[in-house]
Amino acid sequence: MSTGTTEVRTVEQGGVRLAVDVSGSGPTVVLAHGFPELAFSWRHQVPALVAAGYRVAVPDQRGYGRSDRPPALEAYDIEQLTGDLLAVLDDLGEERACFVGHDWGALVVWQLALLAPERVRAVVGMSVPFLPRPPAPTITLLRQLFADRFFYILYFQELGVADAELAADPARTMRRLLAGPRSTELSAEQASALSAQGEAGFVERLPEPAALPDWLPEADLDHYVTEFTRTGFTGGLNWYRNLDRNWALTEAVAGARVACPSLFIAGTEDPVIAFSPPDAGLGHLDDHRGNRLIDGAGHWVQQERPGEVNAALIEFLDDVHHRKATP
């Protein structure tokens, strides 16, 4: 990812080294990617935010890309993941920043706003809205909900299984995940296969795309494929394997509210919002500035529709910092 003046910094937290791309000057914004992505996933946001007068820090999060992939499962719990983002702030000499997260990155930045509110000036979640802590461990609830059906998060729990399937052909994995047809475009047979009982894994249930979408040039897909061929997928999968541990670790903030300004951005075709409704946690957000649903966009919203995402981000950040709106 290049913005012309990007500095690649190495930030260490608990013995884990993170590669962090830092660009621009001004108030700090930290961008946290999701699964299975990279700092590269924010390639369209960084130049726009820098041009709008912000310093932008973008880590390859632990387990991904150029950053370390610690072997211990508990190295990927919510305390470590939020600790990484605070370590980025410390390395930059900043007391507070605005945090923007997509997918798993959204889960982390929402929790950071609860666990370290004094460090979070504002928070933006993409794809995954704020989700109040459930009454029982997450995996326990999912096993009850999907008792007789396949669900990818449950499939990801068994050590080594999804790791091997996803890594067997990283090009197929990334192509089907990033470029596959939307849920509304699936045939009845394809839709049924996604949750049917059986021995099929995760990737083999996903339809093969007829072609790459306009927003995903072959060179961009190749970048993901090259990185995940080198690293595998275990680091990212280990985030999922800490869901119950995270539930236990966040008992102290059960029922807590996000006090800082917040924003939610998602595509209307994102399957995540079908089972995590954007309004579900609004009662826990004290200064929510709205849900921006981008018509026709899917899960990879900041890559699919960068113009609209960038405009929403800059409008929100300028408002938070009491700056004149960027024309």
What are 281-302's pLDDT values in tens digits?
999 999 999 999 999 999 999 9
Residue 183, pLDDT score: 76
Asked whether 277 and 297 are in contact (CB, 8 A), the reply is no
**What residues have CB less than 8 Å from 30, skipping those under 6 apart?**
56, 57, 58, 59, 85, 88, 89, 97, 98, 99, 100
Q: What are phi and psi of 233, to 5 degrees?
A: -115, 0
DSSP structure class, residue 128: S
Q: Which letter, b or e, does each residue of 215-240 get, where b requires 16 or more Cβ atoms within 10 Å of its Cβ? A: bbeeebbebbbebbeebbbbbbbbbb
In 3D space, the residue among 81, 70, 304 whose CA is nearest the CA of residue 180 turns out to be 304
Grade residue 4 by pLDDT with cuts at 50, 70 and 90.
low
* Strand-pair partners of 97: 120
> Which domain does 111 fall in, by range?
7-320
The verdict on residue 192 lying in a domain is yes
Which residue out of 33, 284, 288, 299 is catalytically annotated? Answer: 299
Q: Is position 60 annotated as part of the catalytic site? A: no
pLDDT higher than 90, residue 219: yes
Give the whole-number percent of the chain exceeding pLDDT 90: 90
The verdict on residue 176 lying in a domain is yes
Grade residue 90 by pLDDT with cuts at 50, 70 and 90.
very high
* 151-207 pLDDT, tens digit each: 999 999 999 999 999 999 999 999 999 998 787 787 888 888 888 888 999 999 999
Residue 57, pLDDT score: 98
CA pair distance 132, 253, nearest whole angstrom: 10
CA pair distance 128, 138, nearest whole angstrom: 15
The verdict on residue 267 lying in a domain is yes
Reading the block at residue 130, the tokens are 């704020």
The verdict on residue 2 lying in a domain is no
The verdict on residue 325 lying in a domain is no
Number of domains in the chain: 1
> What CATH number does the domain containing 197 carry?
3.40.50.1820
Which residue out of 103, 163, 284, 288 is catalytically annotated? Answer: 103
- Compute, in degrees rounded to 10, the torsion defined by CA atoms 173, 34, 265, 309: -80
How many residues in the chain? Answer: 327
Q: Is position 21 annotated as part of the catalytic site? A: no
The verdict on residue 204 lying in a domain is yes
pTM of the model: 0.96
Grade residue 2 by pLDDT with cuts at 50, 70 and 90.
very low
The verdict on residue 50 lying in a domain is yes
The verdict on residue 326 lying in a domain is no
- The three-state DSSP-derived secondary structure of 257-312 is CEEEEEEEEEECCCCHHHHCCCCCCHHHEEEEEEEEEECCCCCCHHHHCHHHHHHH
pLDDT higher than 80, residue 49: yes
In 3D space, the residue among 239, 156, 234 whose CA is nearest the CA of residue 201 turns out to be 156
Q: Which position has the token pair 């075709």?
A: 269
The distance of Cα 183 from the centroid of its chain, to the nearest Å, equals: 20
